[in-house]
Amino acid sequence: MGAFCSVIKFENLQELKRLCHWGPIIALGVIAICSTMAMIDSVLWYWPLHTTGGSVNFIMLINWTVMILYNYFNAMFIGPGFVPLGWKPENSQDSMYLQYCKVCQAYKAPRSHHCRKCNRCVLKMDHHCPWINNCCGFQNHASFTLFLLLAPLGCIHAAFIFVMTMYTQLYNRLSFGWNTVKVDMSAARRDPLPLIPFGLAAFAATLFALGLALGTTIAVGMLFFIQMKIILRNKTSIESWIEEKAKDRIQYYQLDEVFVFPYDMGSRWKNFKQVFTWSGVPEGDGLAWPIREGCHQYDLTIEQLKQKADKRVRSVRYRVIEDYSGACCPLNKGIKTFFTSPCTEEPRIRLQRGEFILATRGLRYWLYGDKILDDSFVEGVSRIRGWFPRNCVEKCPCDAETDQAPEGEKKNR
């Protein structure tokens, strides 16, 4: 009921405009096509409602659709939760550990980040998802993950219906010769005959829906496993990148310290309960978080401040070793790179061998950063920004970085 209540409130009616975006239009279109075709194929041509199995199957299809849409609209309309405008920590001395957002005129609470799309600081921000046209964060992380689980399960059920429908309807209509295969669409297997015959148009629609169902199962299923992996570590995609840069900073300066992620409770079950609760409402207010023993509430934000002060860590330098066309899902960069392409509206950038990239964040198989156009590494000078595959670049060796850096960077050192 949470999604429904959030929609009917007058002050939240503006949230309905989130539906007017290519992401929700495509997502809802795929859900509508797969669920509708599965119900039609089941009732008319595979498992009629007058049988017990057919009735149970039809109820299950409706159940999948309702649960998928419920969690989808929850994730979209309830939203991630935002840091209150003008927010300050209760203890004024704690502000020295926090970054200040000039847009929101507020301090960034622990685990929060500013989203350029939402134009607000998001609580426990994971990423901005174009498919829900909203951020995934503190309040909607559970609903978003449940949607990623239920969508592939519903599509697997629908794909089974599509395959069995085509099999049962075409079984007696195919005849094989030495060099030919004939299809007699006038023949029918069921007795009595269905109200609407399974013709060429029905076959084409079922085949198309099968392709959508299988594609959704693979793509969304992989996103679910990625989300569950970081949830069981009580991290977000952004925090994983911060941790990676922390280890790089410690290694580069050969510091006698170890960065311990403060929000990993040390148990997968405890981390799981930080996101999923029986009430559906996450624990806490998103501003203060439980931490593991021996850590400080602001360990992560202090590390962010260190990285912000250290320009070398804030933007890790990479050299391009393989050309990249800028394709959204490149097939020639490996199957893992293809299926883990970032679900974001942010652009991809073309790469040519020998160019240099400053990466500011990334995923396991993708990086996000700036390509330098003019031999100058001065902040804000002529850059192209976007995503690119990690296997197209290599990190510049620390001992050879000065010798191989362009003249512009040498002057800035």
3-state secondary structure of 386: strand
Q: Are 238 and 126 in contact (CB under 8 A)?
A: yes
Q: Are 370 and 320 in contact (CB under 8 A)?
A: no
The CA distance from 377 to 390, in Å, is 21
The CA distance from 153 to 132, in Å, is 19
The secondary structure of 27-72, three-state, reads HHHHHHHHHHHHHHHHHHHHCCCCCHHHHHHHHHHHHHHHHHHHHH
DSSP class of residue 279 equals T
Residue 330 CB coordination number (10 Å) = 17
Q: Are 392 and 355 in contact (CB under 8 A)?
A: no
Q: Is 20 a catalytic residue?
A: no
To which H or E segment does residue 410 belong? Answer: helix 407-411
The catalytic residue among 101, 104, 129, 135 is 129
Rg, Å, the chain Cα set: 26
Residue 410 CB coordination number (10 Å) = 11
Backbone angles phi, psi at 367, to 5 degrees: -125, 155
Q: Are 123 and 80 in contact (CB under 8 A)?
A: yes
Q: How far is CA 54 from the centre of its chain?
A: 35
Nearest CA to 287 out of 297, 299, 276 is that of 297
> What does 87-138 look like in DSSP terms, one character per residue?
---SSGGGGGGS-EETTTTEEPPTT-EEETTTTEEETT--EEETTTTEEE-T
Would you name the residues annotated as active-site residues?
129
